[in-house]
Protein backbone atom coordinates (compact mmCIF):
# COMPACT_ATOMS: atom_id res chain seq x y z
CA UNK A 1 0.00 0.00 0.00
CA UNK A 2 2.82 2.43 0.83
CA UNK A 3 4.41 1.70 -2.58
CA UNK A 4 1.27 2.87 -4.41
CA UNK A 5 1.10 6.03 -2.30
CA UNK A 6 4.78 6.79 -3.07
CA UNK A 7 4.18 6.17 -6.79
CA UNK A 8 1.11 8.42 -6.78
CA UNK A 9 3.02 11.13 -4.94
CA UNK A 10 5.89 10.85 -7.42
CA UNK A 11 3.52 11.17 -10.39
CA UNK A 12 1.73 14.11 -8.75
CA UNK A 13 4.99 15.97 -8.04
CA UNK A 14 6.20 15.27 -11.59
CA UNK A 15 3.00 16.68 -13.10
CA UNK A 16 3.09 19.74 -10.85
CA UNK A 17 6.71 20.44 -11.81
CA UNK A 18 6.00 19.90 -15.51
CA UNK A 19 3.02 22.26 -15.62
CA UNK A 20 4.65 24.67 -13.18
CA UNK A 21 7.59 25.16 -15.52
CA UNK A 22 5.23 25.76 -18.44
CA UNK A 23 3.28 28.35 -16.44
CA UNK A 24 6.53 29.94 -15.26
CA UNK A 25 7.83 30.36 -18.79
CA UNK A 26 4.58 32.10 -19.78
CA UNK A 27 4.84 34.93 -17.22
CA UNK A 28 6.64 37.40 -19.56
CA UNK A 29 4.03 36.75 -22.24
CA UNK A 30 1.20 37.44 -19.79
CA UNK A 31 2.92 40.69 -18.78
CA UNK A 32 3.22 41.62 -22.47
CA UNK A 33 -0.48 40.92 -23.05
CA UNK A 34 -1.45 42.98 -20.01
CA UNK A 35 0.67 45.92 -21.17
CA UNK A 36 -0.46 45.59 -24.83
CA UNK A 37 3.16 45.08 -25.90
CA UNK A 38 3.71 45.31 -29.68
CA UNK A 39 5.97 42.21 -29.63
CA UNK A 40 3.66 39.81 -27.78
CA UNK A 41 4.03 36.99 -30.28
CA UNK A 42 7.82 37.24 -30.31
CA UNK A 43 7.94 37.16 -26.52
CA UNK A 44 5.66 34.12 -26.45
CA UNK A 45 7.74 32.24 -29.06
CA UNK A 46 10.98 33.11 -27.30
CA UNK A 47 9.47 31.84 -24.06
CA UNK A 48 8.98 28.44 -25.66
CA UNK A 49 12.55 28.51 -26.98
CA UNK A 50 13.65 29.40 -23.47
CA UNK A 51 12.17 26.09 -22.27
CA UNK A 52 14.72 24.25 -24.39
CA UNK A 53 17.61 26.43 -23.18
CA UNK A 54 16.75 25.74 -19.52
CA UNK A 55 15.28 29.25 -19.14
CA UNK A 56 18.55 30.99 -19.99
CA UNK A 57 16.59 33.57 -22.04
CA UNK A 58 13.85 34.03 -19.46
CA UNK A 59 15.36 37.01 -17.55
CA UNK A 60 15.79 38.86 -20.85
CA UNK A 61 12.18 38.11 -21.75
CA UNK A 62 11.08 39.55 -18.44
CA UNK A 63 13.00 42.78 -19.11
CA UNK A 64 11.69 42.91 -22.70
CA UNK A 65 8.10 42.52 -21.56
CA UNK A 66 8.45 45.09 -18.77
CA UNK A 67 10.15 47.72 -20.98
CA UNK A 68 6.93 48.73 -22.74
CA UNK A 69 3.80 50.36 -21.34
CA UNK A 70 0.82 51.42 -23.39
CA UNK A 71 0.55 54.88 -21.81
CA UNK A 72 4.21 55.86 -22.24
CA UNK A 73 5.56 53.50 -24.90
CA UNK A 74 9.24 52.69 -24.58
CA UNK A 75 10.09 55.90 -22.72
CA UNK A 76 10.71 56.38 -19.07
CA UNK A 77 8.95 59.71 -18.60
CA UNK A 78 5.32 60.50 -18.07
CA UNK A 79 4.91 61.87 -21.61
CA UNK A 80 4.08 65.42 -20.49
CA UNK A 81 7.46 66.79 -21.53
CA UNK A 82 6.96 65.39 -25.02
CA UNK A 83 3.51 66.97 -25.25
CA UNK A 84 4.80 70.37 -24.20
CA UNK A 85 7.62 70.09 -26.72
CA UNK A 86 5.14 69.26 -29.49
CA UNK A 87 2.94 72.22 -28.52
CA UNK A 88 5.93 74.55 -28.59
CA UNK A 89 6.94 73.27 -32.03
CA UNK A 90 3.39 73.73 -33.32
CA UNK A 91 3.42 77.34 -32.09
CA UNK A 92 6.72 77.96 -33.86
CA UNK A 93 5.31 76.49 -37.09
CA UNK A 94 2.29 78.82 -36.86
CA UNK A 95 4.56 81.81 -36.29
CA UNK A 96 6.67 80.86 -39.30
CA UNK A 97 3.59 80.40 -41.46
CA UNK A 98 2.24 83.86 -40.57
CA UNK A 99 5.65 85.40 -41.23
CA UNK A 100 5.83 83.65 -44.59
CA UNK A 101 2.39 84.92 -45.50
CA UNK A 102 3.46 88.45 -44.59
CA UNK A 103 6.56 88.13 -46.75
CA UNK A 104 4.57 86.76 -49.68
CA UNK A 105 2.00 89.60 -49.52
CA UNK A 106 4.64 92.32 -49.38
CA UNK A 107 5.07 94.16 -52.65
CA UNK A 108 8.29 93.40 -54.53
CA UNK A 109 10.63 96.35 -54.20
CA UNK A 110 10.06 97.16 -50.53
CA UNK A 111 12.84 96.69 -48.07
CA UNK A 112 12.52 94.02 -45.38
CA UNK A 113 12.10 95.38 -41.85
CA UNK A 114 15.28 95.85 -39.86
CA UNK A 115 15.96 93.17 -37.27
CA UNK A 116 17.08 93.90 -33.75
CA UNK A 117 20.68 93.11 -33.02
CA UNK A 118 21.29 89.42 -32.19
CA UNK A 119 18.08 88.01 -33.71
CA UNK A 120 18.75 85.24 -36.19
CA UNK A 121 16.61 83.63 -38.80
For residue 65, pLDDT over 70 is answered with yes
Distance CA(59)–CA(25), nearest Å, equals 10
User: Do 16 and 70 lie in a common domain?
Assistant: yes
User: Do 63 and 8 lie in a common domain?
Assistant: yes
**Do the domain assignments include residue 113?**
no
User: Do 48 and 70 lie in a common domain?
Assistant: yes
User: Do 21 and 58 lie in a common domain?
Assistant: yes
- The string of pLDDT tens digits covering residues 98-116 is 999 999 888 666 666 666 6
User: Do 21 and 60 lie in a common domain?
Assistant: yes
User: Do 69 and 88 lie in a common domain?
Assistant: no
- Residue range 37-42: average pLDDT? 94
Give residue 95's domain range.
77-105
| 55 secondary structure, DSSP code | T
Residue bearing the bigger pLDDT, 120 or 97: 97
pLDDT band at 119 (very low <50, low <70, confident <90, very high): low
Residue bearing the bigger pLDDT, 119 or 81: 81
**Do the domain assignments include residue 44?**
yes
Amino acid sequence: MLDYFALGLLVFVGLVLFYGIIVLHDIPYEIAVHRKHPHQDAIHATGWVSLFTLHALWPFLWIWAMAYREDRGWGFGDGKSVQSHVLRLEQQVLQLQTRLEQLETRSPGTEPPARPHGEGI
